[in-house]
A and B are shown apart, each in its own frame.
Chain A
Amino acid sequence: MSVQDLTVRRGHTLALDDVSLETPAGRITAVVGGDGAGKTTLLEALVGLVEPASGTVDTPDRAQIGYMPSGAGSWYDLTVDENIGFVGGSYGVRDLAQRADELLTRADLMHARDRLVGRLSGGMRQKLGFCLAMLHQPELLILDEPSTGVDPVSRVELWRLISETAAAGTAVVMSTTYLDEAERAGWVLVLERGKNLLSGSPDEVVASCPGEVVETDAPVHTELSWRSGEHYREWWPDGAPDGQVPAVLTLEDVSIVASLREGLTS
């Protein structure tokens, strides 16, 4: 899957501005950003729900894409089994019963097969959404904020499912607002207001941080500092003065720095 110089407009708004991304088989790519950053637009462009204004989107055939929209994409008035029957039938999945057993077991949903989806917990519904998207064993799996609003235990279970899927050779592109979650991905794309803010492997992204970030209790430039636990972190674009304690950087720190840098530049 690859996206080259993709620009998407929604009405008069530039939802995506010249974004590029590549995800080979077996890799998890996390698309990170705040609300309105363009994450959903990028995923919708991948599945053909929005039309690019310019650029190219190169994806497998529609039948080889699994998509889980942000609402989990399951039918509330149908049971878990009925949802699986409908989606499996639409994709023409062979040995559907066996595939359903396998996925529901992995997702720990076997006991809920006869329950209406509308009566499942948020976490269970997200896991079902994942199962539905994976039912036809797609080459490319696209997940729109699969862990948003999900309890921590279900988040861990969802991540286990996603990791296993990628390990089996599926290319996974998922959006998330959680930077700690993005650190588990093989590739990270940070979007801000539709623009590519950062991209690379989590280690590369962290290593690419310009200037220095220090840990302090008394920041000098409040506009370049942010709270982290009990302390503050402060970004020094041209290097920190002597005596400051360098911080152990996370993706969150680097994203904040990139955002501050973008602000300074503009």
Chain B
Amino acid sequence: MRAMILKEFRELRRDRRTMGMLIAMPILLLIVFGYAANFNVDNIPTATLGAQAEQAATLLAEVPKAPFDVTEVDSTGTADDAEEMLQRNEVDVAIVTGGDPVVAYIDGSSLFSAQTAVAAFNRLGDRVQTQVLFNPDLKTSWVMVPAIIGLILTFIGTIITSIGMVKEKQTGTIEQLAVMPIKPSTVILGKIAPYFLLASLDMVLVTVLGMLLFDVPFNGSVAVFALGAGLFLFVVLGLGVFISTISQNVGQAIQTAFFFLLPQILLSGIIFPLEAIPWAVRWISYFLPLTYFTMVSQGVMLRGAPLDSLWFPLLMLTVMAIIVFTGAVLRFRRNLAPGDGRHTKTKAAA
């Protein structure tokens, strides 16, 4: 028994990934659930528009414990402007004054902010009429389905791709590929293309099913959605390839992919709203590709957000795609072509 326990500890000590999981995972979960697990939004970006925009802003600032943070005041703004501001995700609440009653337009795609805003306006009685746009019934499924699409793509991209790539290493066939007269770039593209295609098909399937089963709308441009999804796929496929280069077998690949998956599930804003996560932890969210894909998918599907309003998440996805995908492919290429010496020192026979 003693020998068995000792052997197990010795093995564990040398298994750095498992040790990492044993040490890093509890700390990560503690920090995330301690700080980030918060559904209460108390800082909703708000605009006041119309003739009494200034007064409305002052009044909102004076209401005790009001969750509104007035970021824009426009005395010439109209209801159409309010709707556009919400659509472009510039604010989550836009209050249009000048009429009777005052109308508060609320972005239903920011579910928790919207729920908080509706509750706050209800406390004010009949003075403010609320109108929830883009998700009028504040359905959780409407917000979750676009986010789940990203989660599924992350799953396929990281876990399935890394398994497929690392299997070549595990069975020794990567050596066979390396000596065959196929260019490393052809091998890599040939390996990745099926996963790209499968993930794309899965994305279409989940999107259509989500729309059919949960009545989730698709208000925006398919092209913008496809652009975001394509960029995001390059990032997650790159992650999968990268994981395969630092793993020796399927078990290690799954374990490593888990390290990449968990923060994305917890911190990308799909479970806990980003606005509710304190900055001490929230900065991590802005390094996660799922954060930006969710901004694009929710924006396009629910709000019909135009391309120019999504420039920031699309830019971030582009930067990540270039860095992660290129880096991972170069690392994988090293496995296929260890040094350029094969061409210089291995001379062809006359």
| Co-assembled chains A and B | yes
- Establish whether residues B347 and A67, one from each chain, have CB atoms under 8 Å apart when the complex forms: no
- Establish whether residues B338 and A51, one from each chain, have CB atoms under 8 Å apart when the complex forms: yes
Interface string of A1-17 (1 = CB under 8 A from B): 10000000000000000
CB contact between A57 and one of B178, B181, B338, B345 (< 8 Å): that residue: B345
Q: How far is the CB of B198 from chain A (nearest CB, A)?
A: 16
Chain B residues with Cβ below 8 Å from A49 are: 175, 178-179, 338, 342
- Establish whether residues A48 and B346, one from each chain, have CB atoms under 8 Å apart when the complex forms: yes
Determine whether B280 belongs to the interface, using a CB cutoff of 8 Å to chain A: no
Chain A residues with Cβ below 8 Å from B341 are: 48, 51-52
CA distance A56 to B343 in the complex (A): 12
Q: A49-B338, A90-B182 given as contacts; is B346 within 8 A of A67 (CB)?
A: no
Interface string of A69-96 (1 = CB under 8 A from B): 1111111100000000001001100000
Q: How far is the CB of A4 from chain B (nearest CB, A)?
A: 11
CA distance A1 to B181 in the complex (A): 18
Chain B residues with Cβ below 8 Å from A71 are: 171-173, 175
Interface string of B180-195 (1 = CB under 8 A from A): 1110000000000000
| Category for how many chain A residues contact B | 20 to 34
- Establish whether residues B181 and A90, one from each chain, have CB atoms under 8 Å apart when the complex forms: yes
CA distance A139 to B349 in the complex (A): 11
Interface string of B323-350 (1 = CB under 8 A from A): 0000000000000001101110111110
Determine whether A149 belongs to the interface, using a CB cutoff of 8 Å to chain B: no
Interface string of B214-258 (1 = CB under 8 A from A): 000000000000000000000000000000000000000000000
CA distance A1 to B347 in the complex (A): 10
Determine whether A63 belongs to the interface, using a CB cutoff of 8 Å to chain B: yes
- Establish whether residues B349 and A75, one from each chain, have CB atoms under 8 Å apart when the complex forms: no
Chain B residues with Cβ below 8 Å from A90 are: 180-182
Determine whether A61 belongs to the interface, using a CB cutoff of 8 Å to chain B: yes
Q: A49-B178, A51-B339 given as contacts; is B349 within 8 A of A74 (CB)?
A: no
Determine whether A259 belongs to the interface, using a CB cutoff of 8 Å to chain B: no
Chain A residues with Cβ below 8 Å from B182 are: 90
Chain B residues with Cβ below 8 Å from A51 are: 338-339, 341-342, 345
Determine whether A211 belongs to the interface, using a CB cutoff of 8 Å to chain B: no
CB contact between B349 and one of A1, A52, A87, A91 (< 8 Å): that residue: A1
Determine whether A65 belongs to the interface, using a CB cutoff of 8 Å to chain B: yes
In the complex, which residue of chain B has the Cβ closest to the Cβ of A60? B349
CA distance A67 to B171 in the complex (A): 15
Q: A51-B342, A90-B181 given as contacts; is B172 within 8 A of A69 (CB)?
A: yes
CA distance A228 to B70 in the complex (A): 94
- Establish whether residues B175 and A58, one from each chain, have CB atoms under 8 Å apart when the complex forms: no
Q: How far is the CB of B184 from chain A (nearest CB, A)?
A: 12
CA distance A139 to B338 in the complex (A): 24
Chain A residues with Cβ below 8 Å from B343 are: 48
A to B CB contacts below 8 Å, 6 in the list: A44-B175, A48-B179, A51-B341, A52-B341, A60-B349, A132-B176
**Given A52-B345, A63-B181, A139-B349, 20 more pairs with CB closer than 8 A:** A44-B175, A48-B343, A49-B178, A51-B342, A58-B346, A59-B347, A59-B348, A60-B349, A61-B348, A62-B179, A65-B179, A67-B175, A67-B179, A69-B176, A71-B172, A72-B172, A73-B175, A73-B176, A87-B176, A90-B181
